[in-house]
Each structure stands twice: as C-alpha cells, then as structure tokens.
A = this chain, B = another copy of it.
Amino acid sequence: MNEFQLIKQYFQQPDLNFSNEYTALKSGDDCAAFSLPSDLELHFSIDTLVEGVHFPENANPFDIATRAVAVSISDLAAMAAIPIGFTLAITLPELKQDWLQRFSEGLIQAAQFYQCPLMGGDTTKGPTLVITVQVHGVCETGQSLKRSGAKEGDKVYVSGPIGDGAGALPLVIEDPCLNSGLAKQFYAPIAQVGYAQKIKTSANSCLDISDGLVQDLNHICHASGVGMTIDPKAIPLSKELLATYGKDKALQYALTGGDDYQLAYTAPHCQFGVCIGEVVKGKQVTVQGMDLSSGGFQHFI
C-alpha cells in the first residue's frame, strides 16, 4: 500500500470528506478551499498531539482520533466560532491497517458529531506517532469571543465541571485503553461549540480551559488588564472526580490540571454556567483562602 492508496482507503470517505455550504474545493488538488460570505470571519487553530506526551502509548486509535479533533475544535468553541472543516497531518511509525481503520472510524465519529469534514492532509512516515489537526470555523465579523474583553465587575463563569480531564490522566496512563467514567473525559472531551453560541451575546471574554483553570484565567487577566478573585468552593467538581480522589485532590486538579475543554468566560450576568468568582481591579487570579502560585500544563519547565 502506497501513500495515495492509504489516503484513499482511510481518509477519503463520504462520512468524513463531506461538503458543506463553505466547501469550494475538497482534497484532490494541491490545496483545498473555502468560499465564505464577507460577513463571516474564518477562525483557525492548529494543535499537535504526540504519542507518549499528550496521550499514552498503545492508546486506542479511535480514542486518539476523537481526542485530536475535539481538543482542536475546543479552540473554535472558545471564540464562539462554528466548525466548518479540518486538516490532518499524521506522522506514522509504521503502516498498520487495523490501526488506521480504527483511527479513521474515530475521525468519522468526530467529523459527524461536530459536522466538521476532513478537507485535506498530509501522511508521512517518522519514528514517533504525531498528529496535528488544524480546525477552521466561522463567526460573524467582529463577533468572536476574545480573551481581552473582561471588565471589572464581570462575573467569572465556567461551563461545567472542572478537573475531570486532569483527574483522568493517571487512569489512562495506568490503562491506555480505559475509556469509561473519568477516562472518557480524557479521550472524548466535548468541545463546547453549542454552549458558546448560547453565551456569546452576554460574554465579554472567553477561552477554553486547556492549560488549567488558574493559568487560563490568568490569560484573560493579562489580555484584559484585570484581576480576578475566585471562590474555590464554587468551582463545580464532578461526582466521579470527587469519588475517585476526594475533595482536596479534586480541587487541585480543577485549579491546575488542564485538559478540561470546558469554557471559562466573564459576563456582567449570564443565565448559563456556574459563577465561580468576579473580575476585579488587579493583574492576576487570586483564589480565596489559597496561596497558589500559578500552575498549569506547560512544556519545557
């Protein structure tokens, strides 16, 4: 099987390469193309997952695929953009047809769930499995949610339970193919695309929680020139996280863990989400009753 046959068999299928109203050219030429009305902006974000770094070795290829697409689409959700297509660059150590089949099935599930087709890609050989996904989405011109809009007096909200992604990590390291309970949050996080549409008119700032709640909220503080005070007792923690780790450890995962892909946002008032604090004068996040040096997921520390 050569590169072209591989692409045809695993990456060109009607359920994966479907068209939508923005598709001008699908794969088959040197480029793919979008055609957009001028009142929409094209948002895009690129993310890489490396085997042994971002997911454990011997993870289920279906799960790797769903995670790769979801964590990238989460960046679109963070700005209230609607997914319209993605590209995939995959570096494979070897050609295992069974692996590729299951990976392809994961891509199809994600593409169908988010209605976001695969538009093009590159397949290469290399010593380590590396998966890079770039997602593209649309938003009315000037209407996307940014990190820089938080205002003193805003309340700080999160879209759902925090800490599950980080709490899942030790479990999937122990058993790379575990995909139930907490572990499901690691492999199949739900990018909050629909949720973002509900809050976009009320929110002043937003991002997705990928690096850890405190660190991500500090990104908003930095971009907006504000501080925040967070009530740790208000942070929503899932029953599964609490049952697995107890209250203190669960809270630690929530504050510094990362990999959650819930949204954090500020608004004068929002009927959706859980209010966990407020925007104040200052430069950074403080968590009431805690002395937290800003933690979160970073490479090269």
Contact = CB atoms under 8 A, between A and B. Distances in A.
Contacts of A91: 48, 50, 130
Interface stretch (A140-148, A156-164, A168-176, A274-282): A140-148
Contact of A42 (B42, B49, B126, B207): B42
A290 interface: no
Given A50-B126, A75-B31, A134-B134, A3 B44 contact: no
Given A31-B44, A46-B120, A46-B122, A2 B89 contact: no
Contact of A3 (B121, B127, B299): B299
Interface residues of A, number: 70
A127 B124 contact: no
A28 B37 CA distance: 25
A46 B299 contact: no
Given A2-B300, A141-B24, A127 B128 contact: yes
Contacts of A79: 29-31
Contacts of A153: none
Interface of A: 1-4, 6, 24-25, 28-38, 41-50, 52-54, 74-76, 78-79, 81, 87-89, 91, 95, 119-128, 130, 132, 134, 136-137, 139, 141, 144, 146-148, 207-208, 223, 298-301
Contacts of A48: 89, 91, 122, 124, 130, 132
19 contacts: A1-B300, A2-B298, A24-B42, A29-B223, A30-B78, A30-B207, A31-B76, A31-B79, A33-B42, A34-B41, A34-B42, A35-B141, A46-B87, A46-B121, A48-B91, A50-B91, A50-B124, A50-B125, A128-B130
